[in-house]
Structure 1
Amino acid sequence: MPALASPPTPGAAAAAPDSGPPSAVEDFAYPGATQILRDKGIKLVRGDGHLLLADCNDNKPQIKVMTKADASVGRAGQYCFQATAKTGYLTLEVPRVFYLQTADHPISADLSADGQKKTVDLSKDDFKSVGEGDILSGGKRSVLVELRVTG
C-alpha cells in the first residue's frame, strides 16, 4: 500500500509552479507601429486605444492632420484619426505638420519646434494652422508629438 502524504502544515506556503502564463501588463504601445512607420512614414508610439489611425474618409467624423508629404520616407500629406471615446490620447511623431482639423470631438495637440513645446487646443468642428502653416507665430517646422481627444 502506498504511503499517504502528510497534510500540509498550517501557514506553509504552496510551492510555485515552474512555469505559468505570462503576466498581462499593458504597455500601451501602438499595435503595428513598426509596420506603420515603414508603410506610412509616421511614428505611432503609444496611446490608450481611444484614438486610432484610420483611412481618411470625408464621410466620417475624423481628426485630420496635414503635413508636408515626403516620398523618400513614405510620408503622405494627410493622416486621419478616429476617436472611439470622448477622451483619449496618442503619442506620435508626425514631422512638418502645418494644419489640424477636428470633427465631432475637441482636441488638444502638442507640437515641438526648436526644442520648445507648444499646445494647441481646437474645439469641435474646428481647424487651425500650426507649425509651418502658422505664419503669425513664425511658421516654424514642427513635429506633432501628442494628440488628445478632450470631450
Structure 2
Amino acid sequence: MLTAQGSEIAASDQPPSLVEDYSYPGAAAILATDHVQLISGDGHIVYAPCPTGQDTVGVIQVKTTEAIGQTLNGRVCFKVLGTGGELTMKIPAVYSIRADGLSAGQGHKLKASLTTDAGVHSSVDVPSDGTTQVGVGADPNGDPTTLLELVATAP
C-alpha cells in the first residue's frame, strides 16, 4: 500500500527477513517423535536413520541410556554432508560417541561438547574411525552427561 506521497511502502507489504537463524529444520517434529532436541547448526550435520548391522560407515552414532532416537532404543545417528560441520543439540545421558569412519583415514574427526547436570562442561575428541566413551561410559561412578554440540572436520 502506498502513502499519499507514493514514496513509502506499508510495513505489512515488506518481504520476510532473509537473515538465517540457523535453527534446525523440523526440530519440533523430531523432538515430539524421537525425543531428540536439535537446536541449530550450519546444515552440514544432519539427523539420520541409524543403520542396522555392523556396517556403520558414514554415520555418527551417539548412544544414551534414554529411550530416544527413531526407534527409541537410545541410539541417535547423524550424517556429515561435506568436509565438516557443526550441530548444537541437547541429548541427555550420553555414554558413547562413534565417528563415521571404520578404518584410519575414513570419516570425520569429531569434537564433542558435553555438560553434567551439575553444570560441569567438558570437551572430548573422537577419532575419525573410533569410539569415545563419555559420562558413565567413561566412569560408571561418574555423572551422566548431556551432549551439547558436535563439530566435525576432515581427518
Structure 2 stretches lacking a partner, 5+ long: 1-5, 101-106
1:101 aligns with 2:101: no
Paired-residue identity, % = 34
Unpaired segments of 5 or more residues in structure 1? 1-13
Separation in structure 2 between the aligned mates of residue 91 and residue 115 of structure 1, nearest angstrom: 17
Alignment-derived partner of residue 43 in structure 1: 37
- How far residue 60 of structure 1 moved from its aligned partner, in angstroms, is 4.4
Matched, 1:124 2:128: yes
Q: Equivalents in 1 of 2:72, 2:89: separation in Å? A: 14
In structure 2, how many angstroms separate the alpha carbons of the residues matched to 1:76 and 1:129? 18
Q: Distance in 2 between matches of 1:43 and 1:80?
A: 13
Aligned pair 1:77/2:74, yes or no? yes
CA deviations 1:45-97 (Å, max 9, x no partner) are 000000000001245411100001337xx853101100002121110000000
* Letter aligned with residue 150 of structure 2: L
Shift of 1:41: 0.8
Structure 1 residues 24 and 41, CA gap change in structure 2 (3 angstroms): same
Q: Quick check: 1:142 aligned with 2:145? A: yes
Which residue number corresponds to residue 11 of structure 1? none
| Equivalenced residues, count | 135
Residue 25, structure 1, aligned to residue 19, structure 2: yes
SS of match in other structure, 1:61: coil
SS in 2 for 1:96: strand
Q: Aligned-residue CA RMSD in angstroms?
A: 1.9
1:34 aligns to 2:38 (yes or no): no
The residue type equivalent to 1:116 in the other structure is V
Which of residues 16, 19, 23 is equivalent to 2:8?
16
- Deviating above 4 A after TM superposition, structure 1's stretches of 4 or more consecutive aligned residues are none
SS of residue matched to 2:108? coil
3-state SS, counterpart of residue 123 of structure 2: strand
Query: How far apart are the structure 2 equivalents of 1:150 and 1:119?
Result: 15
Find the structure with the greater CA-based Rg.
1
The one-letter code sitting in structure 2 at the alignment partner of 1:79 is: V
Q: TM-score, normalised by structure 2?
A: 0.80
Give the aligned residue type for 2:24: Y
For residue 133 of structure 1, what is the amino acid of its counterpart?
A: G
